[in-house]
Amino acid sequence: MLIHISSPHMHGGNSIRITMLTVMIALLPATIVSVYLFGWLAVLHLCLCIGACMGSEWLALRLMGRPTTPVLDGSAALTGLFIALILPAAAPWWIALLGSIFAIILGKQVYGGIGYNPFNPALSARIILLISFPLMMTTWVVPMHLGGSALNLYDFNTSLQIFIHGIQSIPGHLDAMSMATPLGHVKTAATQGIPVIDALKSYDYNLLDAFLGSEAGSMGETSALALLIGGIYLLARHTITWHIPFSYLITVAVLALIFSSIDPNQYAPPLFHLLAGGLMLCAFFMATDPVSSPVTPLGQIVFGVGCGVLTWCIRTWGGYPEGAMFAVVLMNMAVPLIDHYCRPRPYGRKT
């Protein structure tokens, strides 16, 4: 076995499993916040998504006659964790299950498994779900600690009932249990011609809530703070580099700043954009997914700027209130091209 080995004869000890585990640890704050906000519903989704992803991976590998050890490398579990965090809490179980199967089989294994998927599996699953089941994917249950919630999600039976039969099965007005996300609210207002400032006022929007996560949204996306902690952890562990998240966030902020200072009635301010929706999760966790992002530093900056421009454009002018997932998946397509043209200048060479 050791006959044909070539130097180096030392290794730093990093592995795919350690990388995936690091990302999962970084997602811990966001996961805890999701359980705090959405109680048992979050726990049920987490268990189902992680289990379904690992199960689909095992099944796909078995069907292809490949070794099934990659099931335990952590990548499928991480995809499951991602899917749980980007689902609305009120989504029924079969949405989560379908999403997990989509992500692993159509998003990853059909391309050849880990390392070969051109798109982020979790995000492509979310897009498939959003387009296929628009109502269920945009019904946002009121987080637990916001006063006046008609539902007790800390009660296992209530959560289980929503999980199995959907939020419609709970007696009472849907309006009392659900609310719009800030992005959704602003988008609806814009279609009715209401200025952004008035729309935010009527939503009772404040930046601190958005930063801490006291608002409606996908289970793991609401708290910018929790995601920021995770992102900084990933940066400190060198699992990701600053290039993608910084260029992504700065691009969104700069675009929002320019346009909102031109016309504050029509365009939302930069901080609103930064803290809203899936931007933080996408910038630190999804866009930085190693497999589907560029490898060269310059390429990563180009990729981040592209994600930022697309996110802001879709949010502002597109049909959907949130554009981060579309932006990242669209930019994923451009990765081979970006990698080809953004190669670093080798030592001692001019071009």
Can you give the binding site for another protein, defined by CB under 8 A? 1-3, 5-12, 14-16, 18-19, 73, 75, 112-116, 235, 238-239, 241-243, 290-297, 300, 339, 343-349
What residues have CB less than 8 Å from 299, skipping those under 6 apart? 335, 338, 339, 341, 342
Output the smallest distance, CB 112 to another protein, in A.
8
Q: Which residues contact 247 (CB under 8 A, 6 or more apart)?
A: 300, 301, 303, 304, 305, 308
* Smallest separation (angstroms) from another protein to the CB of 82: 15
Query: Of the two residues 172 and 344, which places its CB atom closer to another protein in the complex?
Result: 344
Q: How far is the CB of 300 from another protein (least distance, A)?
A: 8
**Cβ-based nearer residue to another protein, 12 or 319:** 12
**Residues 33, 185, 165, 59: is their CA dihedral positive or negative?**
negative
Q: CB of residue 3 vs another protein: minimum separation in angstroms?
A: 8
58: Cβ–Cβ under 8 A, 6 or more apart, which residues?
A: 68, 71
Residue 60 C-beta-side C-alpha neighbours within 13 Å: 24
Nearer to another protein, 214 or 296 (CB): 296
Nearer to another protein, 128 or 291 (CB): 291
Least CB distance to another protein at residue 340 (A): 9
Take residue 97 and report the two structure tokens written for it.
């299950």
Q: Which is nearer to another protein, 181 or 300 (CB)?
A: 300
- In the complex with another protein, the residue whose CB is nearer, 57 or 322, is 57
Three-state secondary structure readout of 193-261: CCCHHHHHHHHCCCHHHHHHCCCCCCCCCCCHHHHHHHHHHHHHCCCCCCHHHHHHHHHHHHHHHHHHH
Could you tell me the smallest distance in angstroms from the CB atom of residue 76 to another protein? 13
Residue 5, C-beta contacts closer than 8 angstroms, at least 6 positions apart:
none
Q: Least distance (Å) from another protein to the CB of residue 339? A: 7
User: On the CB side of 22, how many CA atoms lie within 13 Å of its CA?
Assistant: 18
Nearer CB in complex with another protein: 69/157: 69
CA angle (195, 90, 312) in 5-degree steps: 35
